[in-house]
């Protein structure tokens, strides 16, 4: 997606070999027009996959997921990262390690938002080591549902996440694939 790559080059900041900051348009300040365009790309790619619901992990994946769900006219579900007094009992949970934050969290899905008949599209802002996507997949498959695809806004292709998901047979579609990061260096595949 050329417009996304342009924004990454113009406004993104490579802080290290693994950290890309894109907070001006994706995960702090949000460019709604860009999110709408991102939703269009995901809709076009996954329109014939029989998707029934679209999932994301709070919070940075919410904006592109809302736009995709709106355009595909499908329900959207946000997987929760934090403990909640409201979400207890009838939930699926799995532990996910965040390399960015250097800590583990419990990913939670209420059982009322998924059924074995569902074919889920998972959308996330970044793919690096694949931990978040694998956590979402565990919850979906524990519920007996199917993962119909994994949509990624920005993939760090030099990290193992893509290879892990490909090896497991998931249909991963990334809008921008970064081949190399370094302080002040952003190179696409």
Query: pLDDT tens-digit profile of 81-124?
Result: 876 666 567 999 999 988 777 788 899 999 999 999 999 999 99
Indicate if the pLDDT at residue 164 is higher than 80: yes
Report pLDDT for 98. Answer: 80
Q: CB-based contacts of 63: which residues, under 8 Å, 6+ apart?
A: 26, 30, 32, 35
In terms of residue numbers, what domain contains 75? 2-188
Report pLDDT for 18. Answer: 93
% of the chain residues with pLDDT over 70: 96
Structure token pair of residue 17: 């070999």
Q: CB-based contacts of 102: which residues, under 8 Å, 6+ apart?
A: none
Residues that constitute the known binding site for 5-phospho-alpha-D-ribose 1-diphosphate:
128-132
Determine if residue 41 is left, alpha or beta; phi over 0 gives left, psi from -120 to 50 gives alpha, anything else beta. alpha
Indicate if the pLDDT at residue 138 is higher than 70: yes
Residues that constitute the known binding site:
20, 27, 128-132, 156
Residues that constitute the known binding site for xanthine:
20, 27, 156
Average pLDDT over the chain, rounded to whole? 94
Cα–Cα dist 86/105, whole Å: 17
Structural domain count, the chain: 1
13 vs 101, higher pLDDT: 13
pTM strictly above 0.85: yes
Cα–Cα dist 36/41, whole Å: 9
Angle between helices 32-46 and 2-11 (to 10 degrees): 140
Direct distance between the N- and C-terminal alpha carbons of the chain, in angstroms, rounded to an integer = 12
Report pLDDT for 83. Answer: 63
CATH number at residue 37: 3.40.50.2020
The band of 59, judged by pLDDT with boundaries at 50, 70 and 90, is: confident
Cα–Cα dist 3/109, whole Å: 33
């Amino acid at each position: 997606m050329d417009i996304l790559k342009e924004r990454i080059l113009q406004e993104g900041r490579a802080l290290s070999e693994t950290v890309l900051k894109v907070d001006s348009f994706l995960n702090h300040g949000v460019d709604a027009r860009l999110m709408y365009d991102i939703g269009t790309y995901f809709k076009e790619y996954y329109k014939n996959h029989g998707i029934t619901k679209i999932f994301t992990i709070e919070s940075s994946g919410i904006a592109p997921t809302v736009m995709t769900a709106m355009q595909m006219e499908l329900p959207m579900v946000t997987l929760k990262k934090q403990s909640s007094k409201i979400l207890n009992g009838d939930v699926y949970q799995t532990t996910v390690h965040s390399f960015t934050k250097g800590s583990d969290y419990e990913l939670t899905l209420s059982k009322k938002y998924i059924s074995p008949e569902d074919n889920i599209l998972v959308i996330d802002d970044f793919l690096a080591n694949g931990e978040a996507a694998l956590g979402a997949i565990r919850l979906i498959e524990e519920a007996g549902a199917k993962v119909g695809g994994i949509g990624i806004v920005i993939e760090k292709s030099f990290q193992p996440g893509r290879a892990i998901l490909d090896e497991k047979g998931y249909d991963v579609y990334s809008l921008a694939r970064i081949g190399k990061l370094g302080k002040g260096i952003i190179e696409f595949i």
